[in-house]
């Protein structure tokens, strides 16, 4: 199914949805075009669980009743959204790449018993990281910090 980006759709997204406007601005800088598919994918990401797999989106857009978008387009769009700093990706252990919407920067604790992901942010950690980078003359542009172990709930079970 191919729909055109008519005024009604534009009215929903470009005017009212901040994220779509940001994404469109990003696309313009690279002479890329905003399509109906990109909008739908971004919209779906916004209503989904914060941490998701590409496969989650692919399945959604394969389900009868939902708009159909191909796996190729889903992957292409995820790359663009990451470049546009709207989403973020990271690996948990051996598994696949996971994505999350970018809100404020945070790090992760991952329970290897129940799989729960706890987000935290600590100013001291960030400051010290900055100091260490300065010592090495390293200009950081991002970092990932994942702590794995056992969450409080799983520890209490027993």
Partner DNA sequence: AGCCTTATTGAGACTGAGTCTCAATATAAA
Partner DNA sequence: TTTATATTGAGACTCAGTCTCAATAAGGCT
**Residues of the shown chain interacting with DNA in the complex, contacts defined by CB under 7 A:** 2-5, 24, 27-28, 31-38, 53-55, 68-73, 75-77, 79, 94, 96-97
Cα R_g (the chain), whole angstroms:
19
Q: Strands 97-101, 107-111: parallel, antiparallel or unpaired by DSSP?
A: unpaired
Chain centroid to CA 39: how far?
15
Verify binding: residue 89, a second copy, rule CB under 8 A.
Answer: yes
Q: Is the distance from CB of 44 to CB of 60 less than 8 angstroms?
A: yes
Q: Report, in Å, the least distance between residue 29 CB and DNA.
A: 11
Q: Report, in Å, the least distance between residue 17 CB and Zn ion.
A: 35
Nearer to Mn ion by Cβ, of 17 and 119: the residue is 119
> In 2-112, which ranges are E strands?
51-52, 87-91, 97-101, 107-111
- Considering only residues 84 to 103 of the shown chain, the ones binding Mn ion according to CB under 5 A are 100
Stretch of residues binding a second copy (CB under 8 A), selected from 9-17, 48-56, 67-75, 108-116: 108-116
What tokens were used for 158?
A: 């027993």
Out of 3, 15, 114, 128, the only residue in the binding site for Zn ion (CB under 5 A) is: 114
Contacts of 72 (CB under 8 A, 6+ apart): none
Binding site for a second copy (CB under 8 A): 89, 91, 94, 97, 109, 111-112, 118, 120, 122, 124-125, 128-129, 132-133, 136-152, 155
């Amino acid at each position: 199914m191919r729909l055109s980006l008519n005024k009604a759709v534009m009215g929903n997204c470009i005017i009212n949805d901040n994220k779509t406007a940001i994404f469109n601005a990003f696309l313009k800088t690279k002479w890329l075009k905003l399509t109906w598919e990109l909008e739908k994918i971004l919209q779906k990401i916004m209503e989904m669980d914060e941490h998701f797999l590409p496969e989650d989106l692919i399945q959604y857009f394969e389900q009868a009743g939902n708009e159909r978008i191909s796996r190729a387009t889903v992957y292409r769009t995820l790359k663009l959204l990451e470049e546009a700093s709207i989403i973020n990706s990271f690996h948990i252990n051996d598994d696949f790449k996971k994505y999350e919407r970018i809100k404020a920067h945070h790090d992760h604790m991952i329970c290897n018993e129940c799989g729960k992901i706890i987000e935290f942010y600590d100013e001291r950690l960030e400051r010290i990281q900055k100091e260490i980078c300065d010592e090495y003359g390293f200009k950081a542009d991002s970092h990932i910090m994942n702590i794995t172990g056992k969450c409080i709930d799983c520890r209490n079970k027993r």
